[in-house]
Each structure stands twice: as C-alpha cells, then as structure tokens.
Amino acid sequence: MEFTAKAMGYGAVKYADLKNHRMTNYKFSFDAMLDLKGNTAIYLLYAHARICSIIRKSGVEDIEALIAENTLELGTDEEFELAMHIMKFPESIEDMMEEWTPNSLTSYLYELSVKFTDFYSNNKVLGVPEEKSRLMLCEATAVTMRATFALLGLTPVYKI
C-alpha cells in the first residue's frame, strides 16, 4: 500500500508538471493533481491497474504464450481505434523528441487511456469468444502504458 501511495503521489506531481507545455504557466493545485477523472497521473495509474486486474481475473498465467499462439482480431470500432492508437506510440516519441515537448507524450498517454476506457466500456473482455484477442489488446495497452510511464519517470501500479 505504501508503494502505491508513493507512486501515485510522486506521479501526480510529476505528471502535472509534464502535461503542460513548457512555455505555459499553470497553477499548482494538489486537488487538481489528485483528481480521479481527467488528465491526471492518478487516472492513468488507475487505468493501468484496472487493465492488470482484467488480465489477472482471466486466469491466464502466461500472457506471452497466449500472444504467441493466437491472432489479434479487431472486430469492433473500439478495438480498431485502440489498436491504431497503440501503433502511434513510436510517432509520439519522435514528436516529443523533435519538439522537446513531454506534454505531447502525456497527451498520447491520456488519449490511450480514454480509448481503452471506450473499448472496455463497450466490449466485454472475459467470458466471450473474443476473450483471447481482447486480452492481447489489453496487454498491448498495458505494455504501452508502462513504456510511456518509464519515459515520463512514473512508476506503474498493478493493484489499487
């Protein structure tokens, strides 16, 4: 619990600073930083923990084997949108490096989380014929989120 609290606390402050363009002013507000909704580290870390929870609840012990043995199928608009956004990850890194704007990477991460929420809200993952494919999409989202967290200096949480 202490690990999660530290990750969320430090992450909230760091993310609030990074999500703003370097040339803009912002008001320091713990209330805004700790908001559970919107473009905050708390929201993003919670989304990551939720994805990890879905994968745990699936009972799949070796997600890498699942990925190696199955094919990703994008049957709904939300699945397609999420997959296409994941594929833009390298581009978002290039944009950040060319422009020196970490806020472009935080925007990418927030949009990824929103697209995952749209996907998850409209598509059942567990207990459906598409379960394996959707678990693969969940794992791809979580891996991308962790890579983005690492670039931003945030510590991912797996349970809240």
- pLDDT, one tens digit per residue, over 4-46 is 888 888 888 788 878 776 666 766 555 655 556 778 999 999 9
Pick the CATH number of 2-152 from 3.20.10.10, 1.10.730.10, 3.50.50.60, 3.40.640.10: 1.10.730.10
Better pLDDT: 107 or 36: 107
Q: Chain-centre distance of CA 113, in angstroms?
A: 5
pTM of the predicted model as reported, rounded to 2 decimal places: 0.90
CB-based contacts of 12, cutoff 8 Å, min separation 6: 30, 33, 34, 40, 41, 42
Listed by start position, the domains of the chain span 2-152
Average pLDDT for the chain: 91
32-41, 52-61, 76-85, 101-110: range with lowest mean pLDDT? 32-41
The per-residue pLDDT for 88 is: 98
pLDDT at position 31, please?
Answer: 60
Q: What is the 3-state secondary structure (H, E, C) of 47-110?
A: HHHHHHHHHHHHCCCCHHHHHHHCCCCCCCHHHHHHHHHHHCHHHHHHHHHHHCCHHHHHHHHH
pLDDT of 69 > 70? The answer is: yes
